[in-house]
Structure 1
Amino acid sequence: MNTNPNHSMDDLLVKCILDEALPAERDEVDKWRAQHPENEKYYNHFKLIWQQSRELASASDVNEEEAWERFKKRTAENERPVIELNSNRPNYLFRIAAAIVVMAGVGWAVYFSMFRNRPEELVTVKAGAEALVDTLPDGSVVTLNRRSSISYPEGFAHGASRPVTLRGEAFFDVQPDKSKPFVITVNDVTVTVVGTSFNIKSNESSTEVIVETGLVEVEKSTEMVKLHPQEKVIVHKEKNKLEKELSGDELYKYYRTGKLVCNDIPLSEVISKLNEVYNTRIIIENKKLADQKFNTTLELKSLSADLHVIRETFSCTIHQNGDTLILK
């Protein structure tokens, strides 16, 4: 931050609030506020203090200079550092500090300490009709599937963990930090990691967790399982029992890769995933056809193109009945 050597940024902020700043000084403050969100917060807090101090100072008969001296003495007794004000600093700065002493009883430093310790604001990120990639404050990267969302405290600055709430489906690539585990809450399930990559999919009836790298702990009520790479657990809403199994396929990656990679996958599972991708209703009338294994990569360019590949592969027919497509 570059400021005029004859005054501090606090001086400029007060001058701007009082509408006494020169155009160049106001430009300097505007640039400083735009540099970082914390600067804008500091400005807003500074302005709030000034406004409240004016109201209190106008209603008080306390000698402001004496109040300021008492404030400095008190902070010295408590071994808090006191920043001495320059003798040529405008008198209204003393008035601000004195009014704050009257208002809060502990002064400027304690006031801002309270703001720093306040609960962090929640940030919510939502995906619309397309998947969305977002980088979190700790450097972790999350890919949200369509119509999914996450919420997390801005900055992850406070607390012993990095808490995130998920709705829908997302893939997380978490930055390692053993001192602050990454904790995801989804439905009534808690997923805890340190540094790893994994997929979580939730709906009204169940939550599925699939691990690609690292180690993941999944908890519900008093039950907990640890998942290693290529393992998954499906947690049903009405059950507390957690049973892990091999993930078996890569169909869950479709919203990140734009492809449906099918390696010896039953056609029934492929069709189920196509229904999810295209928000359609496709059913297989023939159970024998449903059990057939599929070994092709679908490009997910269009439903008609993918169904054409399936029809040619299995020599089946596709009929439409209203909004339903029937494979025979």
Structure 2
Amino acid sequence: MDSNDMGDDLLVKYMLGEASETEAGRVNEWLQEGKENQHYFSHFKLIWAQSMELAPHSTVNEHEAWKRFKAKVENDVPVVSLNSRPWYSGFLRIAAILFFVAGAGWLLFLSFQNNGSQLVTVKTGSHTLTDTLPDGSIVILNKRSSITYPEKFTAAGTRQITLNGEAFFQVEPDKSKPFVISVSDVTVTVVGTSFNIKSNVKKTEVIVETGLVEVEKADQKVKVSPSESLTVLKGKPELIKQKNKEEFYDYYRTKKFVCNNTPLWKLVETLNEAYQANIVIEDENLRNKLLNTTFDEQSLPEILRIIGVTFDIKVEQKEDKIILK
């Protein structure tokens, strides 16, 4: 029995702990039949574990989500042909469960052949995600970001990663195998360190917490040390290194907004990004008001309430805008 003969429905029941003794025996027997089945199941299990991590953010019933998506798959089969990679189907089904369970957030693993090695792509939607790479390195992906990496790093060469969006990396040291991240038109090379990378349509920014990072663009290379940042503006050749002045770069990882003489405009800019909000400071005199406080896993309404009380200002909702005045 290969991976195509083992129904995804049964694997889901097995994951939910609802398989009968006979069904569980079938799954265990199937796992013993070959590495291909174990490989399939390991991906299946990893994705399911991530769905359980995201599930507390939603009241959606995963059983019902599975039923609804099964019906959709049966109706939409002609849309995408998966005959050449039959085992993709299971991963796409589980990804759909994540979409339902996690709300607008979703995780998708896609494996494909690349010179004999398989690549894995992990994407996030409206939630952050922590992923462990094959070498044990930890990646925390911000919302609406993605990484692609080999399922296994080869014995020789480099540990190659591709990033879109923003992520915090805690890299396992290995001097014989540098960790190389391609992001936009920039290459970041490290051995063992922790750092944040953020890339958008305007710029790519690297902030180092520990260790040493080398950033390369075209024929330029710059080393970045702890508490330093390097910025590359889109369409510009310069690599701009300076002391890190970005206070909120790690908010999505720490779940905190630490304000230390922080101007209101800076906090508002970050809140708009973090909560996909449209907060506007109507009175220009408020823009540089300074805040000294920490918002720790508080909701946007609560943060705005505290801002209003602190500066004795009004917080007004008007259509799609939140106005501070």
Please give the TM-score of this superposition, normalised by the length of structure 2: 0.65
**1:260 matches 2:257:** yes
Distance in 1 between the 2:171 and 2:155 partners? 18
- Call closer, same or farther: CA 1:122–1:258 in 2, change over 3 Å: same
Matches within 5 A, 1:237-276: 237-276=234-273
Residue from 296, 312, 320 that aligns with 1:299: 296
Higher strand share: 2
- Call closer, same or farther: CA 1:157–1:293 in 2, change over 3 Å: same
- Call closer, same or farther: CA 1:127–1:40 in 2, change over 3 Å: closer
- Call closer, same or farther: CA 1:175–1:282 in 2, change over 3 Å: same
Alignment partner, residue 67 of structure 2? none
Alignment partner, residue 170 of structure 1? 167
Alignment partner, residue 188 of structure 1? 185
Q: Deviations along 1:63-87, whole A, 9 cap, x unmatched?
A: xxxxxxxxxxxxxxxxxxxxxxxxx
Please give the TM-score of this superposition, normalised by the length of structure 1: 0.65
Instruction: State the shift of 1:285 in Å.
Output: 2.3
Does the CA contact (< 8 Å) of 1:33 and 1:40 recur in 2? no
Q: Deviations along 1:133-158, whole A, 9 cap, x unmatched?
A: 01000010000111211001111115
- Secondary structure in 1 matching 2:249: helix
Alignment partner, residue 32 of structure 1? 32
Distance in 2 between the 1:192 and 1:166 partners? 13
**1:125 matches 2:122:** yes
Distance in 1 between the 2:268 and 2:28 partners? 60
Structure 1: gaps of 5 or more residues? 1-12, 14-25, 42-116
Structure 2: gaps of 5 or more residues? 3-25, 41-113
1:317 is aligned with what amino acid? K
Distance in 1 between the 2:221 and 2:289 partners? 35
Does the CA contact (< 8 Å) of 2:165 and 2:198 recur in 1? yes
Matches within 5 A, 1:1-328: 30-33=30-33, 118-157=115-154, 159-328=156-325
Distance in 2 between the 1:130 and 1:28 partners? 33
Q: Deviations along 1:245-304, whole A, 9 cap, x unmatched?
A: 121244111111111111111111100000011101112123331112211111343211
- Call closer, same or farther: CA 1:184–1:40 in 2, change over 3 Å: closer
Q: Give aligned-pair identity as a percent.
A: 52
Instruction: State the shift of 1:118 in Å.
Output: 4.6
Distance in 2 between the 1:295 and 1:229 partners? 24
Does the CA contact (< 8 Å) of 2:131 and 2:138 recur in 1? yes
Distance in 2 between the 1:313 and 1:29 partners? 64
Count of aligned pairs between the two proteins: 229
Distance in 2 between the 1:289 and 1:187 partners? 36
2:224 is aligned with what amino acid? L
- Secondary structure in 1 matching 2:308: helix
How large is the Cα RMSD of the aligned pairs? Answer: 2.5
Q: Deviations along 1:70-117, whole A, 9 cap, x unmatched?
A: xxxxxxxxxxxxxxxxxxxxxxxxxxxxxxxxxxxxxxxxxxxxxxx9
- Call closer, same or farther: CA 1:125–1:28 in 2, change over 3 Å: closer
Who wins on radius of gyration, i.e. which is larger? 1
Q: Deviations along 1:220-252, whole A, 9 cap, x unmatched?
A: 112221111111112111111011112124411
Does the CA contact (< 8 Å) of 1:225 and 1:243 recur in 2? no
- Secondary structure in 1 matching 2:136: coil
Distance in 2 between the 1:28 and 1:280 partners? 48
